[in-house]
Amino acid sequence: MAVRTVEFDAARNPEMGPGGTLVASPGAPFDAPEPRWDSETMLVNVGPQHPATHGVLRLIVELDGETVVKVVPRLGYLHSSFEKLGEYRSWNQIVPLTDRMDYLAPLIYNCAYVMAVEKLMGIEVTDRCRVARVICMEMDRIFSHLLWLGTWSIDVGAFTPFLYAFQQREKVYKLHEALTGARITTSATRIGGMMADLPEGWTRGVREFADNLPATLDEIDGLLTCNAIHVGRTQGIGAISADDAVAHGLTGANLRASGVPYDVRKDRPYYDYENYDFEVPIGCHGDCYDRYLVRMEEMRQSLRILHQALDGLPAGPMDVDDPRVSLPSKTDCMSDMESMIHHFKLVTDGIPAPAEDCWFSVEGSKGELGMYVVGDGGPKPVRWRIRPPSLVNLSAIPALAEGHLMADLIVINASLDIVLGEIDR
Amino acid sequence: MTAGRSSEANGSSSANGFDFGAVAKGPVSSSSASRTPSESASGVPRNPSVSALRGQFGDAVLRSQVNAGDQDVVYVEPERILDVLRWLRETPEEHYDHLADVTAVDYGGGHPLEVVYQLWSIPHRRALRLKCELPLPSLEIDSATAIWTGADWLEREVYDMFGVRFRGHPNLRRILMPDNYAEGHPLRKDFPLRGRFSRAEQTRRALSQEPEDYYAPGELANRTPQTADDTEGGAA
């Protein structure tokens, strides 16, 4: 799993110098020590409007020459106070807020939120719903990783993988649209089930996507994994030890690249993940290259889960058979007085939750995505808290980037795979 | 609110046998485990760390309960939180090495504000939730940054959103709201949804911001910890 097959060796990768002579590449160690200019440091604002910051992130960087002395991230440019807005909405009305936080993997957020509320209310969803949500979450994990792969390759200077990755992402957009009617803001889940059953032929589309993706992954693999420029720019850059990664609260691929095999799907299984046959790739160096390897392998493992889930998708109802949670069918509402009242009461009153709290975390595409919901017996939350994996992952960037070059800061930022929607919320 | 609605809806049982009062009562647990939050009903905590904490810290552990079926919650004396966290982190049998989250809950109505720690032990695969109740006038608690570096931004967010001051935090500033935000702490229950100031005043303040506040090297030069009072707004 995520074992590197190539090692960067600057002496082995010479470059063409003036007059056609081969010279050592810029990464090669020089004999003479670098001259030390004790001049003032320079201050550079990266962002908030900069494509390499992957959103409206602003990094205030103190530079000594090209070396990063200090990084101070400034957040809040996308702050919408979703958690406050949630306190004014009933449980089901919050679902549309969730997919706006991680617009790169909206279905994971949809599912994680309702799973937390269902756990609080003690609702067991149907078997079909469990498997359908696994399909949604794994599909969006790949969806998010593909965007990461594309932007990451742009940040290290390769353009082609970006196009290849976005070709595949477009297929997931179409699947989102077929499932929910929206390409990004899916809002696909409801308490106790899904917005609707899977449309006709949808699973066939997912399977087609899953069948075709490995060829693209192999192509990108061939372009990047052993590419001397890519390897030289990422190996040994932004390395963090396992202990430091845990202390910083890193999760997801960023933590696993440091060799800590913590994956919520394995360690605290939900939705029968223990019954799916998949492996958790881990790295051992904790640098940008290992994070790349881990994510590449994670996509292949997600494909394995996707195939197993598609094979095992049971027939049957999608929503729980509980009139206190599920809406009656539209046909019943139009023809049956009791169903109409039932629909009216559920929509206007909402679903009361017990006066308790509940923490539920899933393995999101960026890391451990935690949802903390507190009820007070009424139909609205007292508190709805998201533990955004990107926020905690990004907080490690000063430790990762200080001492590296300015160009490496961009690569390190890309390797963390952040999304500002969930950082600022 | 719920009780009032259920009493008026209790009698209305429909023709197809559906009891509308049940909607107001909300879903009941489909598992057999008791869902009541009281300590007596929820029985023995599943997590062995709860009894270990009681043995180690005695009175500092105020009470414990099992929420949402299987989640252990321990209420800790706020003054002892740092000792408890450090002990949980460093004792080999506990080893809660992953601080998943630090957040706070404001219940409103003058109730104490809760600071919530979500802990996870990667080697032992156990979860534990610690809570500290802070009475509203004195929202102060020790910072966990000395134990987990990752607590830094999480505590800054709690400070920003709730106004809880973390003693010993190296850099307790606002994180999501602007530094010069003067309307208070948005996630408190007494904070109105649209903010304290009028829309005109909010616009005026946004337009009158000094660019130097945002593009100044002072942020980098200022390595001494900024005290929470410096950024405290005019709002109560």
Domain boundaries in chain B?
A: 31-178
- Cβ of A355 and B187 within 8 Å? no
- Domain B31-178 carries which CATH code? 3.30.460.80
Looking at chain A, the whole-number percentage of residues with pLDDT higher than 70 is: 91
User: Rounded to two decimals, what is the model's pTM?
Assistant: 0.83
Q: Does A272 touch chain B (CB under 8 A)?
A: no
Asked if residue B98 has pLDDT above 50, the reply is yes
Q: Does B179 touch chain A (CB under 8 A)?
A: no
Q: Which chain A residues touch B129 with a CB distance below 8 Å?
A: 357, 359
Q: From start to end of B24-171, where are the E strands?
A: 61-67, 71-76, 98-105, 113-121, 126-134, 140-142, 165-167
Give the pLDDT of residue B235: 40
- Cβ of A338 and B16 within 8 Å? yes
Q: Please name the member of A267, A349, A399 whose beta carbon is closest to the beta carbon of B24.
A: A349
Q: Quickly state the pLDDT bin for A305 (edges 50, 70, 90).
A: very high
For residues A174 and B207, which has the higher predicted lDDT (pLDDT)? A174
Q: Which chain B residues touch A83 with a CB distance below 8 Å?
A: 161, 187
Q: Does B190 touch chain A (CB under 8 A)?
A: no
- Cβ of B37 and A354 within 8 Å? yes
- Cβ of A324 and B29 within 8 Å? no
Q: Quickly state the pLDDT bin for B222 (edges 50, 70, 90).
A: very low
Task: Answer whether B25's CB lies under 8 Å from B44's CB.
Answer: no
Question: Which CATH superfamily groups domain A82-317+352-424?
Answer: Cytochrome-c3 Hydrogenase, chain B (1.10.645.10)
Mean pLDDT taken over chain A? 87
Instruction: List the 109-168 stretch of A: residues with Cβ below 8 A of B.
Output: 119-124
How confident is the model over A116-137, as a mean pLDDT? 91
Give the pLDDT of residue A26: 54
Give the pLDDT of residue A368: 92
Give the pLDDT of residue A2: 66
d(CA A109, CA A351): 20
Asked if residue A146 has pLDDT above 90, the reply is yes
- A353 CA to chain B: closest CA distance, Å? 6
Q: Quickly state the pLDDT bin for A254 (edges 50, 70, 90).
A: very high
Asked if residue A1 has pLDDT above 90, the reply is no
Preceding peptide of A48 cis, ω within 30°: yes
Summarize pLDDT for A99-115 with one digit per residue, the tens.
888 888 999 999 999 99
Q: Quickly state the pLDDT bin for B196 (edges 50, 70, 90).
A: confident
Give the pLDDT of residue B49: 85
Asked if residue A34 has pLDDT above 80, the reply is no
Interface test with B, best of A383, A391, A400 (most B CBs within 10 A): A383
Summarize pLDDT for A45-59 with one digit per residue, the tens.
887 887 777 888 888
- If you count residue pairs, one on A and one on B, with CB atoms under 8 Å apart, how many are there? 178
Mean pLDDT taken over chain B? 75
A76: left (phi over 0), alpha (psi -120 to 50) or beta: left
